[in-house]
Amino acid sequence: MKHKVVITGMGTVNPLALNVRDTWKMATSGNSGIGKITHFDAVEHTTRFAGEVKEFDPASLFGKKTARHMDRFVQFAVAATEEAIRDASLNITDSNRDRIGVIIGTGIGGVSTLEKQTVTLRKSGPKRVSPFMVPMMLPDTAAGQVAINFGTRGPNLCITSACASSTNALGEAAEIIRRGSADIVISGGAEAAITPVTIAAFANMGALSSRNDDPESACRPFDQDRDGFVAGEGAAILVLESEQHAIERGAPIYAEVAGYGLSNDAHHITAPAPDGVCAIISMELAIRDSNLELTEIDYINAHGTSTPLNDKTETLAIKQVFGEHAYQVPISSTKSMHGHLLGAAGALESIMCVQSLIHGIIPPTINQFTSDPECDLDYVSNNSRKLSADAIMSNSFGFGGHNASLIFTKYRANTSSTLNV
């Protein structure tokens, strides 16, 4: 007997907006959060644009001293968590803090701190390196700082599985609740990797778009002329909770985490398996876990990175899983608007899925200009669409061959309180 897992709160900081409400408004309007890089002088870089978080003021949120000792990805995580906790009407006290966990995924962690302190070492010598460097750069610091800031003492983990990190974080958080090890888990992802070294490295490996003359239309998932992903940054946090606990405390319930699947390609460190076989496995496992039929999946939020390999491989995998029904299922990639948040991507896209369930709207894949014969499904091109979905799948795939899929469903108060897994 397993506990049903529901979502009771959401928070985000991302290139579209600094909260969930405005993010959803921007996404459903088809707006782009991508522009020229301002974090550093990118004039010598091959790619000079990204999805940066704008108007984010950590000093006003945390105080100058505290903010100075937090890497940007941690600042994002704490800010998004504050919104999510508030949204969940969650009061953390001595009576419940031991049963509240935190699992936050990140692909890279505090790379900005590492880069800056490396420069300090070279310019000024070892004695000038900050003693705060190690805790600032560690990938698990976001989860640790959230626990410290909000006083949670339950399970606390960092998941690092490249661009699948926060999808895995949410899936593992759900499993912790299902087995009864926590009543609530604050989960999601955070990333702040728009730095000189990171952008140069991704560009030099041929992963980034180089459309410097038109940043807003550079990310073109499933379009024939796609030429790479656009880096993004930010955080997205969801409050996951057992149904019983949420009902007992009168929490708002937005949706259910109904299914989770994961796999590995065992193929290549950066390229997806060409036949999509293991992406197929993660999707099939998630559907099986949800106890849904294939035809009950109403919408797929795709990984959809805008790279030549990913998009055709994901399309192939979806066709293999859904058969002819694949042509009936709307698919979109919101990365076209906010860029690729790397380890935080899956969590932000999970919020998009939950918002779709709540509002009956599918956000679009913008920048769809030229059809690709190898990507011939319904990608909700350029404009959002009204659809009262009951079940939504979200996919995330990462370097190292990591694949993860989640299924979210509308919450039905009169359904069974258990799931068979």
163 catalytic, yes or no? yes
CA distances from 162 to 50, 270, 345, 368 (A): 18, 10, 10, 27
392 and 301 in contact (C-beta within 8 Å)?
yes
245 catalytic, yes or no? no
φ, ψ of residue 194 in degrees (nearest 5): -85, 80
Choose the catalytic residue: 3, 45, 163, 353.
163
Other C-beta atoms within 10 Å of 183: how many?
A: 22
Q: Which residues contact 177 (CB under 8 A, 6 or more apart)?
A: 3, 5, 183, 184, 185, 240, 241, 242
Choose the catalytic residue: 3, 303, 338, 402.
303
Q: Which residue has the tokens 């959060």?
A: 33
144 and 156 in contact (C-beta within 8 Å)?
yes
The greatest distance separating any two alpha carbons of the chain, rounded to the nearest whole angstrom, comes to 65
139 and 160 in contact (C-beta within 8 Å)?
yes
255-264 sheet: strands from edge to edge: 156-159, 100-105, 184-191, 234-242, 5-13, 255-264, 402-409, 391-398, 299-301, 331-332
Tokens of 231: 């880096």
406 and 259 in contact (C-beta within 8 Å)?
yes
Listed residue (282, 240, 298, 166) closest to 4, CA to CA: 240
Q: At 74, which amino acid appears?
A: V
φ, ψ of residue 212 in degrees (nearest 5): -65, -20
What is the rounded CA–CA span in Å between residue 35 and residue 122?
31
* Collapsed DSSP state (helix, strand, coil) of residue 159: strand
219 catalytic, yes or no? no
Q: Is the dihedral of CA 261, 265, 271, 274 positive or negative?
A: negative
CA distances from 94 to 98, 99, 153, 247, 267 (A): 8, 10, 10, 20, 47
CA distances from 343 to 5, 151, 188, 392 (A): 22, 24, 9, 20
| Half-sphere exposure of residue 80: CA atoms within 13 angstroms, side-chain side | 36
Choose the catalytic residue: 3, 45, 338, 340.
340
Catalytic residues, which ones? 163, 303, 340
